[in-house]
Structure 1
Amino acid sequence: VTTGASNDIKRTTDIARNMVTRWGMSARLGPMTFEEDEGEVFLGRSVTQHKNVSDDTAAAIDEEIRAILERSYARAKEILNGRMETLHAMADALIRFETIDKEQIDDLMAGRPARPPATPPSSDRPVPPSAAPSTDNGADGAPSLP
């Protein structure tokens, strides 16, 4: 698992946990909040662990989070597998052009070939004068900061 994928998994798990424990979005557990926001101490860890639910409820919460993640993973996989040709065309366009814009994505999603981007990649764009470093010197002769 790469660092990027690891971060995606953590973020997805956090969202699923919030769906179940904070936002009441679990049909199995109902529209309830199971965690209180007590703030965090000492670099993100609580000094003491406060338990707001029974062991059985905690297990049910974990099962519901896992079920949400598994359903979401299966759905994402189904969508990607169903559009594999489009996915490969998009990857090819990214390799060819480095970036793709909305119009190119629309073309690819409609089954049309990717055309060159309307604007060049950011590294080829000229720097606007407002973003260029200042060459004005201050009263003491040193360059002034923006």
Structure 2
Amino acid sequence: MKLSQILKPEAIKVINSASSKKRLLHDVGELAHSAFQLNQSRVVEALQERESLGPTGVGHGVALPHARLDGLDSVQGGFIMLEKPVDFDAVDRQPVDLIFALFAPQDAGVEHLKALALVSRSLRDQGLCKKLRANPDPSTLYAILTSDQNVAAA
């Protein structure tokens, strides 16, 4: 699996700032609605349910919110870059500015886990994150995220 299989250009957004984690999850919901025609309120609700199990802020300014949803045939991803980081209850207590959200079908099983592992592994690469932060243009962000240098998931 490659990021280009789960991410499409219209699922990338640069936002000046979000006032809170809750507002950011609403922004993710808006992105899911515009890119994948998913029910925005259901996306936000599912993301908040997942966050209640434990925060998805993985550290170093990165968050990986994810949820299982009806209405999808395959795992899809959306990427948001914040120009001004927001508190996301991350494990290292640092605010986040790179958010890669995953939306999986209810019965996705191992595909959801493979996608989550791929995104996590990719965004642990500090060089990649540095490139992303230096290029606040959605088409450039897409090119960086989907370049062949990214490792494929098992």
Q: TM-score range by the shorter chain?
A: under 0.3
**Structure showing greater Rg:** 1
Q: TM-score, normalised by structure 1?
A: 0.27
Which structure has greater helix proportion? Answer: 1
Which structure has greater strand proportion? Answer: 2
